[in-house]
Structure formats: C-alpha cells, structure tokens
Amino acid sequence: EAGVAQSPRYKIIEKRQSVAFWCNPISGHATLYWYQQILGQGPKLLIQFQNNGVVDDSQLPKDRFSAERLKGVDSTLKIQPAKLEDSAVYLCASSVGGNQPQHFGDGTRLSIL
C-alpha cells in the first residue's frame, strides 16, 4: 500500500510571497487532514476534509491560508502572503474516517526568510 505522498519536501521563500503544498492521500481514504507542526511542538490541525467537503477549519488562518480537495482525492494547501511565523513543517494525513488511526506523509518543511 502506497503511503501519503507530499511535495515539495522543502521550500524556502521570502515573507509576503506565496507558496503551495500538494498532498496525495492513501487510495480509498475519505478523510484528509492538514497539520502545521512548529519546531518542538505537536501537530496542530489546520483543516479536515471528508471527501471534498470541509469538516473543520476552525484553526485555519483564513486571511492567508486556503485549501481545497477537488474530486475528493488530492489536496493543495496555499499560503498567501507568507509571514515569518508560518515557518513550520506542514503535514498531510489521511484516514478511512471516523476515529480511525491517521496515516501521515513526511511533510513539507517551509522556511520563511
């Protein structure tokens, strides 16, 4: 079984620029999650999709972050414009749904200069 794929693995941009991350979940997993993990902390949920509908985006800074999951499969997360405090690892995870374990990709490490 192929795991959760994310790209790019690393990204360096200047503040106020825009950036996008891509995630391909495990085939058949209806639920997709985007997390932000700041160095030394646990992941914080940004947004959760069930198929292509948003279940929870209460912690997504909507003035600068956006996410979509077209056709209920792949997903993209965008930041525009980026701030210094957005430096973090962005993790994508998927699950079959409900309270089942989540499967994580290796993340995108974002550095803002």
Partner 1 sequence: SQQGEEDPQALSIQEGENATMNCSYKTSINNLQWYRQNSGRGLVHLILIRSNEREKHSGRLRVTLDTSKKSSSLLITASRAADTASYFCATLPQGGSEKLVFGKGTKLTVNP
Residues in contact with partner 1 by the rule CB under 8 A:
4, 31, 40-45, 48, 55-56, 91, 93, 97-99, 101-107, 109
Give the residue with the Cβ less far from partner 1, 78 or 103.
Answer: 103
Copy the structure tokens of residue 96: 């079959």
Nearer to partner 1, 3 or 83 (CB): 3
Find the shortest distance in angstroms from Cβ 57 to partner 1. 11
- List C-alpha distances in Å: 32 to 11, 38, 62: 22, 20, 18
Please check whether residue 73 is in contact with residue 2, taking contact to mean a CB–CB distance below 8 angstroms.
Answer: no
> At 86, is the secondary structure helix, strand, or coil?
helix
Compare residues 38 and 84 and give the one whose CB is closer to partner 1. 38
Greatest CA separation for the chain: 39
Q: How far is the CB of 86 from partner 1 (least distance, A)?
A: 19
Which two tokens mark 23?
């995630």
Minimal distance, residue 46 CB to partner 1, in Å: 11
